[in-house]
Amino acid sequence: MKREERILVTGGAGFIGSSVIERAIREGKDVHCLDHRNDLDKFSHLNGSVKTVNLDTRNKNDLRYFLEKYSFNGVIHLAAVSRVVWGEENPQRCKEVNVDGTQNLLECLEETGQDPWFIFGSSREVYGEPASTPVKENAPKVPINIYGETKLAGEQAVREWSVRTGNSSVILRFSNVYGNEKDILDRVLPRFVLRALKGQPLEIHGGNQLIDFTHIDDTVEGIFRAIDYLGNGCPLHDDFHLLTGKGTTLQEVARIISDHLGQDVQLLKMDCRNYDVDRFVGEPSKAISKINFKARIKPEKGIPMTIDRFREVFSL
């Protein structure tokens, strides 16, 4: 990234967004955080280095007004209803935020005459239940849940915007990111860690899942590699997996936790959910070859790191 670039991070108060912003600030970047949450004071420790705006991307008028005041060299769009289960519980809100909010942002950038590069945070959920693994970026995309459908629609909107405007964009598909206390604590890995630290049983829905878990430090590194790629004459549009390429079962996660804590953990099997993808492992070779990104933190290392961090942060 060039030092003079001004970057907008939507969903910047979230798990991935806040981690991206903290690194960008450490590197001396000019960063604006846009988020609908009321807890934007979480950046107070950065001593005013990040500019924050409380705004919902569903409100196109407010979004346009903001973009008339500020212009950006790059946009990292992470604002989303970010859990599969939330999409199933409130599909209308999921569509409004993930599809309409994305379309509003793209249209407002165009209407205000801006020509930034654009990164869209997508998900492995766009593939649905793959026929085989590892899954490549060009594999069929047949989502089985509302969240995956909305992410796929967002990808299409970004692709069309790039073709229409000539601005470069990159789709980054995340896969079960974990690793610090900013995560949504009811997601599977932080929930497992917290329950184990409290001596509670680990609830597993189904039990046959094979998941490509990705540590937050790797995810952030991948985003910054994509930014470099966008700044060095990349194609008009591209897509990459940010993941390890290694599948881990939930039973293996439980074993890693148990080994690190030096105590047995109890598994409590629950009914499977029809909107959960059962098995996914992504193929990482495209990101390795084109943006020089390779995930370094495998679950065997990352899960113990997460346990130690949660222990410290939550005094457990």
CATH topology for 179-211+246-281+297-313 is UDP-galactose 4-epimerase; domain 1 (3.90.25)
For residues 124 and 141, give the distance between their C-alpha atoms in angstroms, rounded to a whole number: 9
8 Å CB contact between 147 and 294: no
CATH topology for 6-177+215-242 is Rossmann fold (3.40.50)
For residues 225 and 280, give the distance between their C-alpha atoms in angstroms, rounded to a whole number: 24
Q: What is the pTM of this model?
A: 0.95
Mean pLDDT by 10 residues, the chain (316 residues): 75 95 91 85 65 94 96 97 94 98 98 97 97 97 97 98 96 97 93 96 85 98 97 89 96 96 91 86 98 97 98 93
Cis-peptide, bond into residue 134, ω within 30° of zero = yes
User: Structure tokens of 62?
Assistant: 């407010």
Cβ partners under 8 Å of residue 151, min gap 6: 80, 98, 122, 123, 125, 126, 143
Task: Quote the pLDDT of residue 111.
Answer: 97
Rg for the chain (alpha carbons), in Å? 19
8 Å CB contact between 188 and 176: yes
Each domain of the chain, given as residue ranges in start order, spans 6-177+215-242, 179-211+246-281+297-313
Task: Quote the pLDDT of residue 35.
Answer: 95
Distance spanning both ends of the chain, measured CA to CA:
39
110, HSE (Cβ side, Cα atoms, 13 Å): 16
Task: Quote the pLDDT of residue 16.
Answer: 97
Task: Quote the pLDDT of residue 24.
Answer: 92
Q: For every residue of 77-116, which 3-state class applies, written as one string? A: ECCCCCCHHHHHHCHHHHHHHHHHHHHHHHHHHHHCCCCC
Cβ partners under 8 Å of residue 86, min gap 6: 93, 94, 147
Task: Quote the pLDDT of residue 1.
Answer: 44
